[in-house]
Structure 1
Amino acid sequence: MRPMRVLRVTIFALSICQLAVVAVAGQEWVVDVSAGSSEYEAVAGEVGSANAIVGLRRDAPTWLSFSAGVPLDSAGVPWASAGAGGRWSRLLGRAELGVAAMALGFGYRVSELETTGGGATLVGLPFVSFGRANARVELRTGVMHHTAFFDDERTSRTVQESGIDAALAIGHGASLGAEGRLVLASEGTYPYAGVSIQFARGPISAWARGGRWVAGTLDDGGWGLGGRVSLPARLSLRVAYERVPEDPLYWNGSRKAWTVGVSRSLGRRASLDAALPPPDVFQAPSGSVVMSLPANEVAGAPSVAGDFTQWEPVPMQLRDGVWEASFRLSPGVYHYSFLRVDGSWFLPESVRNRVDDGFGGVNGVLVVR
């Protein structure tokens, strides 16, 4: 990469990070700095796979995200994107009824042609989820829409998607998943089947997945591998490499994608001397923190997620009638919540430290001294 391009990328990253720190004071957000592909397929299919990317996100059940990238090679273009989404649901006995929705917009510019492009994706998927013991099954059906433009050309596409997801916790921090999709478009029907495995133990998590479209006009497979390591000072390192198959919503072709990045949780930390009730955690002499949840307060195998896991659920382990998860955390104040096996979030009444999450719910407060 040429020296001027290196300088431009460095200035870009430092400037965005400084703006992010100012913007999120007093809130719980995450800044991502990475190299590779955008995580959003609508964006990644348009702008190339080698980018320097800076992003700001609120990664929670109701999420917001902002990201921008500059190319690391001559094949890419500068771009920016913003999105919001989440899951809203209600429990009815053992069933959870709700809707998952997302809106994402992006834009880019081809300097050589003095032309701009961009687009927007809208997703609305009502779902019903059932959980029992260490298993969960979710059924969904809804509509996805994508609009893209380049210069004076514009295309729009709407498809109906139905699907089923199944997850099974197999112990020792591992879980298996299976996915089926059926995309109905005006020109045809596109079925998809895939499997995955996830593992989380302490500060380390890893995943692998594979799947294939099996339509006569779309016979294309994909796979991926990735992992994350939580580091001190609210940092985490993540890597991923995958082959992304063509998607009938975007028709943007299959591609290889890679990502290497560092994330940093932001926001004002409460003073360690603040008058807070003692947190329901145990700090071991080794510096690890064990989060616990009595087994009689939840049906099935729960997970825990918080800003110290980038809000990615970590399965808990059952020991002597108590669900536990161990983390190595730096001193400070963190927010967290629990996840039932059916996919719904909850915070037991026994958690005395709690705070409004800013979206109508509550998070627990974890103090590490």
Structure 2
Amino acid sequence: MMGTAVLPALLLCVLSGEPASAQQTALSLDLGASYSLPPAGGIGIASTYANGGLRFGGSFGAGGFFSAAGIGGLALSEEGASWASALGGVGWLQPVSRNVSLGISIMGEAFTVGEPVPYRAAYVQAEPEVGFAFGGTAVRFSGYGGLGNSEVTVFETFVRDTRFGPRVFQVGSIVASNLWAWGAAAEIAQELGVVAPRLAVEAYDSPQGPYAVGRLGIEVRSEPGTFYAEGAVWDTPDGQEIVLRAGLRVLTGGRATVLASGGRYGPDPLLDSPAAGGLGASVSLELARVGPAPELTWRVLENGQPTLVLELRSPDASRIECVGEFTRWDPVPMLRDGEVWRVTLPITPGVHHFGFFVDGEWYVPSQAPGLTKDEWGGVQATLFVSEQDSLPDVTP
């Protein structure tokens, strides 16, 4: 099945891309390579892949859409199985008060894996959520539901005597399965400067039986990039699984992002795929944006805990600082790149208010998200950050 070999490669390719700016639709190219290991004691072959694909995304009101078309992996060995995948989805997140937000994300995917064991699957999943944010602490409760179907081709080999002597025959039969899973999760994350630990528990039910998992992760974030690590203990119908993974994301400047990751990935209750290992690296290059160049753009890079990238176009400024709840209201200098000033900051899921000091004067662009007045009558922007992986930024 897909999880035995190519799932880590797909995860690497999907997570390497950047969500589009909230004001524009962006098209990006992902290129990379990965090495996938089969599950311990399971059926599968270690394989090396060349991965690539195109993605685009954008936003609408309080929601956003994302997609990845043409993502696939080419096996670089005869024993491996090449694969192709297409996915898409929408997300919506809306505050109901200063510290509480409600949201939902819906995603669908279809993929196919080639020989030696052809496999096809298609599914759709939905995750409603409610989030609470208090200072540097974020708490999130979510539900999960998924439906789909899969087909695997099983080959049987036998020898039959003929008038020309023994002959080897191979007959393939298709085994179809209905896929479903439902569950719930609770997570708490704490921002401690550049370090952000998080703890989560999840439970699922599926045709093969119940799953439960506890996760402990940590991120260390700085201006150049982000390092993350996560360990998890799974209780599955086939026994206990312990998984560990780590990765590094580096912003190279402009519109390029480099991602490297490796470790052992957890099982998938919906696809009934076991835990498997892998490692790899990829680069995401933004090819084009559709829409006028805005004064302010923002991106939320999802990979474990979110990382916020703010860009303010101000060619005449000599110094710009960003300040908000995600900086604990301490001014953080932005770096100049031509006419654009940029800053990369760790950010927790939830509701965040912010603004800028431009040459010492408070400033909030008119097209900034969620313009509101503070208790002193000043204008500030509001950003809503979802916990969902691979979702674009969500703005009011």
Q: Provide the TM-score with structure 1 as the length reference.
A: 0.68
- The answer on whether the counterparts of 2:334 and 2:343 sit within 8 Å (CA) in structure 1 is no
Equivalent position to 2:67, from 64, 76, 90 = 64
Task: Tell which structure's C-alpha radius of gyration is larger.
Answer: 2
CA distance in 2, matches of 1:275, 1:250: 41
The answer on 1:235 being equivalent to 2:256 is yes
Residue deviations 1:138-164, cap 9 Å, x none? Answer: 111131224221343211221111111
Q: Name which of 127, 130, 133 aligns with 1:128.
A: 130
d(CA) in 2 for partners of 1:275, 1:193: 42
Cα RMSD after superposing both structures: 4.0
* Map of 2:364 onto structure 1: 350
How has the CA–CA distance of structure 1 residues 280 and 224 changed in structure 2, closer, same or farther, with 3 Å as cutoff? same
* Counterpart code for 1:103: G
Q: Flag the structure with higher strand content.
A: 2
For 1:290 and 1:265, the matched residues in 2 are separated by 25
After TM superposition, list the pairs within 5 Å mapping 1:161-310 onto structure 2.
161-171=183-193, 173-186=194-207, 188-215=209-236, 217-268=238-289, 279=312, 292-293=322-323, 295=324, 301-302=325-326
Counterparts of 1:148 and 1:116, CA distance in 2: 11
The residue aligned with 1:324 is 332
Shift of 1:290: 5.9
Give the conservation status (yes or no) of the 8 Å contact 1:227–1:240: yes
Contact 1:279 1:352 in 2 (8 A): no
Indicate the structure whose relative CO is greater, using CA pairs within 8 Å and at least 6 residues apart.
2
1:82 to 70, 73, 86: 86
- The runs of 5 or more residues in structure 1 that have no matched partner are 1-25, 39-44, 296-300, 303-316, 364-369
> What residue number does 1:33 align with?
31
Tell me if structure 2 keeps the 8 A contact 1:282–1:291: no
1:123 maps to amino acid: Q
Query: Could you tell me which amino acid in structure 2 is paired with residue 351 of structure 1?
Result: P
SS in 2 for 1:266: strand
Give yes or no for contact 1:36–1:258 (8 Å, CA) kept in 2.
Answer: yes
**Given the superposition, is the C-alpha separation of residues 170 and 192 from structure 1 closer, same or farther in structure 2, using an over 3 Å criterion?**
same
Residue 305 of structure 1 corresponds to none
Which residue is equivalent to 1:91?
A: 95
**Is the Cα–Cα contact under 8 Å of residues 339 and 345 in structure 1 kept in the other structure?**
no
Give % identity: 17
Unaligned regions of 5+ residues in structure 2, if any?
Answer: 1-23, 37-42, 59-63, 154-173, 297-310, 356-362, 370-391
Deviations 1:234-268 (A, max 9, x none): 32222111101333322222211111112212215
Tell me which protein shows more helix as a share of its residues: 1
Q: What is the TM-score with the length of structure 2 in the denominator? A: 0.63
